[in-house]
Amino acid sequence: MKIRILGYYGGYPYNGIGTSGYLIQSNNFNLLLDCGSGVLLELEKYLNPLQLDAVLLSHYHHDHTADIGVLEYYWQLNTENRKEPTLPIYGNINDKINFDGLTWNNDTKGIPYHENDILNLGPFLIKFMKTKHPVSAYAVKIIEKSTNKSFVFTADTRYFDGLINFCKNADLLITDTNFYKNKKGTKWHMTSKESGYLAKQSNAKNVIISHLPQYGSLDELLNETRDEAGSNAKVNIAKLGLQINI
């Protein structure tokens, strides 16, 4: 399974780099996980968007969905050479207005996923866990059926202990790390220290911190995470276009 980072800022794009988006590929199947601001432009560098097999959205905050509308137009305006006649876009159904927006003519179609169901999608089995966020958001565990390798994406969430089991022994874990360790007050994302703790407790084999802040030193954010994770954990920071093979 290959995972490519198409955008990693939280909230808004910055310095030519977009918000949340990841291309997951296995056995010629192309899954786009989240479709934030700037993600479609970045995706086009690597894949004709008509070659997508499916899109999966962790939640409906704009920094995870901003490019869904233009992706729908891309499909509407290109009726030839689609890999699928209609692009399936998977999302939660708790927010009906946003869910209904995933269906556009016969070009794209919203399909609900449910926390207690395992989604069987091409080469993947996908599990969900509701996170702690102001809107319904779901962490996803994507398991490659042929290898049993697993990729976990925390989506957006504040820290809670239930994440540890969900992330257990992941071959790749990408965490929402939007705050430096000294962040005070109400938090709807994890701090560097909390991501480091999750990296350590989950025993994930490879960890990448993402959903990054536009301020401060990202080297410091990474060092804070590594300090908490300990020397056994392999922790790195998101880079645009980086591809990880697991």
Least distance CB 88 / Zn ion (angstroms): 22
Least distance CB 211 / Zn ion (angstroms): 8
- Measured CA to CA, the distance from residue 179 to residue 177 in angstroms comes to 6
Do the Cβ atoms of 36 and 21 come closer than 8 Å? yes
Cβ closer to Zn ion: 19 or 30? 19
- Is 61 a binding residue for Zn ion by CB under 5 A? The answer is yes
Stretch that binds Zn ion, among 17-25, 57-65, 205-213, 221-229 (CB under 5 A): 57-65
SS3 126: strand
Do the Cβ atoms of 69 and 60 come closer than 8 Å? no
Cβ closer to Zn ion: 156 or 171? 156
Least distance CB 188 / Zn ion (angstroms): 7
Least distance CB 156 / Zn ion (angstroms): 3
Tally of CB atoms within 10 A around 17: 20
- Measured CA to CA, the distance from residue 157 to residue 150 in angstroms comes to 20
Cβ closer to Zn ion: 123 or 213? 213
Least distance CB 168 / Zn ion (angstroms): 24
The one-letter amino acid code at 216 reads: G
Stretch that binds Zn ion, among 50-58, 101-109, 113-121, 148-156 (CB under 5 A): 148-156
Do the Cβ atoms of 235 and 196 come closer than 8 Å? yes
Residue 141, token pair as written in the block: 């565990």
- Is 156 a binding residue for Zn ion by CB under 5 A? The answer is yes
- Is 158 a binding residue for Zn ion by CB under 5 A? The answer is no
Cβ closer to Zn ion: 44 or 115? 115
- Measured CA to CA, the distance from residue 172 to residue 16 in angstroms comes to 26
Length of the chain as a residue count: 246
Least distance CB 210 / Zn ion (angstroms): 12
Cβ closer to Zn ion: 65 or 206? 65
- Measured CA to CA, the distance from residue 53 to residue 109 in angstroms comes to 12
Stretch that binds Zn ion, among 37-45, 97-105, 155-163, 218-226 (CB under 5 A): 155-163
Helices (H), the chain: 39-44, 62-65, 68-76, 96-100, 162-167, 192-202, 218-229
Stretch that binds Zn ion, among 59-67, 76-84, 101-109, 219-227 (CB under 5 A): 59-67
Binding site for Zn ion (CB under 5 A): 61, 156
